[in-house]
A and B are shown apart, each in its own frame.
Chain A
């Protein structure tokens, strides 16, 4: 009797919390959980008029069809190549940048460089793609420069070349993100015990030796953490960027899973096939997230919640 009274009192006290969570729970249910359940259309021949519930079931047909498409191999390969290129490039350049800042004299100079290098992260790919389309155009800034320097005789349409498209996607993403990605390393560098450097100077270590033997080992845990967390992004090659820079000429090297899914669903109206590809991606991504979090927990003692 007494116990029950206590529970009721407790429930009354927690009622405001339930009410606070309610709107968010409703929205997540409607716009995240139901679309997740809606992934069943990958196993259907989905007709928008019939909806999720009444469309015809076709089992694994969409997946079988997907694996017969030559595009399927291409988009998975392009996604992996672009995403891994971005992860590696961003990691290396961000560490390099953070170490340069750590070594540079002059607080105001460093602040200025940081301010400039963080900025591109906050600009949208729509804006940046418009700018890059100008720069990499056949008569754009880069070609003018290369022709003036005598490296090229006539302009290359970089974004229309299967040879250049991938490197440009990776390079421009590193350009956009390296400064921002460096922040976590800069924070780690700020925490290094300065006495270590002083001791190294006593021992006659040069600047490069100090970087190699003190700086890098000190931020190794952060590097490992960032690497493991990035595993989760191996299937994300960046829809906004690719969509705004590619064209049919470079589908062979530039078409990624997300752009393919978008085209197949909203231009070709092959909803079920597109969703099958999307589901395939989600399953792999989900496994990668689990793996990356397990690794991060094991090697860097990190848990997000």
Chain B
């Protein structure tokens, strides 16, 4: 067995633990900093006194955010897009992945569809034609602009297809002998067996929808219809050119800093809520995508 109590081993372990702690802290500090800013008094922030713990603890920025309608309007748009977007993403992923997972003798056109899907993954328009196609389909400024163009997550389709393909053949054969029909095979056997993969894909889809800002910026013109990340991004643009501000404006900017920090913290909460579930599944998801029999 491995000898563990020698002195050199203990030193080695200590170095390893120190390095890991350092990396963990490095990941944590920026997040703690923004949390600290959001709970600190704006004068302390202005004086540059806030590190990773709040200074002169206050809930002022959260009270301010509660009164500000725009933030929660944007939050609502994001919730709506997640619900619609993930629902449609999942329906499309399952509906496409299952037929594609069939053998050629069960579904002769399978290979043709597969080529099409691969083309959909490799090809793609540059941003200008993409924008004008969406415009000409009348989606601009509608919530569907954030949902429909990305309704088919091709990579997830392939991931789930691979999962269906690796399901044990014996189970399917047994079901066939029991007289299960072709659609029941899908709904009763294959989909329930694929639950971990489906959960993985759904969680990825939630995060993608919650985090994307670009489509909101390009496709939404009315401020009230903009999703949360796009809204937060627009706050940042306003504060970008600090060198040109007068000192009064600078003070205003600095007090904005605590409000913005609060907004960031609130918009991260949903990710933190699903994070434990994610952690359970994303490891499977990654190994699914890369390791195959």
Query: Do A and B originate from a single complex?
Result: yes
Residues on A with C-beta less than 8 A from B132 are 38, 48, 51-52
B257 at interface, CB cutoff 8 A: yes
Residues from 125 to 151 in B contacting A, C-beta threshold 8 Å: 125-134, 136-137, 148-151
B213 at interface, CB cutoff 8 A: yes
Could you tell me the distance between the alpha carbons of A20 and B113 in the complex, rounded to whole angstroms?
A: 12
- B27 contacts A175, CB within 8 Å? yes
Choose from B3, B28, B51, B267 the contact partner of A116 (Cβ within 8 Å): B28
Q: Give the Cβ gap from A109 to chain B, nearest Cβ, in Å.
A: 7
- Count contacts on A: residues with CB < 8 A to the other chain: 98
Could you tell me the distance between the alpha carbons of A267 and B81 in the complex, rounded to whole angstroms?
A: 27
Q: Give the Cβ gap from B115 to chain A, nearest Cβ, in Å.
A: 10
A113 at interface, CB cutoff 8 A: yes
Could you tell me the distance between the alpha carbons of A183 and B278 in the complex, rounded to whole angstroms?
A: 13
Residues on B with C-beta less than 8 A from A116 are 24, 27-28
B107 at interface, CB cutoff 8 A: yes
Choose from B1, B108, B134, B271 the contact partner of A123 (Cβ within 8 Å): B271
Interface window among B8-16, B54-62, B63-71: B8-16
A247 at interface, CB cutoff 8 A: yes
Q: Helix, strand, loop or mixed for chain A's interface?
A: helix
A59 at interface, CB cutoff 8 A: no
B246 at interface, CB cutoff 8 A: no
Residues from 16 to 39 in A contacting B, C-beta threshold 8 Å: 16-18, 20-21, 23-25, 27-28, 30-39
Looking at A123, A206, A286, the one whose CB has the most chain B CB atoms below 10 A away is A123
- A127 contacts B33, CB within 8 Å? no
Choose from B92, B240, B243, B275 the contact partner of A122 (Cβ within 8 Å): B275
Residues on B with C-beta less than 8 A from A27 are 92, 148-149, 151-152
Choose from B26, B126, B232 the contact partner of A127 (Cβ within 8 Å): B232
A225 at interface, CB cutoff 8 A: yes
Residues on A with C-beta less than 8 A from B129 are 34-39, 41, 52, 275
- Count contacts on B: residues with CB < 8 A to the other chain: 104
- A20 contacts B99, CB within 8 Å? yes
Q: Helix, strand, loop or mixed for chain B's interface?
A: helix
Residues from 54 to 95 in A contacting B, C-beta threshold 8 Å: none
Could you tell me the distance between the alpha carbons of A146 and B25 in the complex, rounded to whole angstroms?
A: 18
Could you tell me the distance between the alpha carbons of A102 and B130 in the complex, rounded to whole angstroms?
A: 45
Q: Give the Cβ gap from B134 to chain A, nearest Cβ, in Å.
A: 7
12 further interface pairs, Cβ-Cβ under 8 Å (given A27-B92, A31-B148, A123-B268): A27-B151, A28-B154, A33-B120, A41-B129, A97-B23, A103-B13, A113-B24, A120-B27, A120-B31, A183-B287, A206-B8, A262-B127
A-B pairs with the 5 shortest C-beta distances?
A: A35-B125, A38-B129, A278-B126, A124-B211, A17-B99
27 examples of A-B residue contacts, CB within 8 angstroms: A13-B182, A17-B99, A18-B99, A21-B95, A23-B95, A31-B148, A34-B125, A36-B125, A37-B129, A41-B128, A100-B19, A116-B24, A117-B23, A119-B31, A122-B271, A126-B233, A127-B267, A131-B34, A135-B33, A175-B30, A187-B287, A197-B2, A244-B233, A274-B126, A282-B124, A303-B292, A305-B158
What residues make up the interface of A, taking CB atoms closer than 8 Å to B?
10, 13-14, 16-18, 20-21, 23-25, 27-28, 30-39, 41-42, 46, 48, 51-52, 97, 100-101, 103-106, 109-110, 112-113, 115-120, 122-124, 126-135, 137-139, 141, 144, 160, 175, 178-179, 183-184, 187, 197-198, 201, 206-207, 225, 239-240, 243-244, 247, 261-262, 265-266, 271, 274-275, 278-279, 282, 286, 289, 302-305
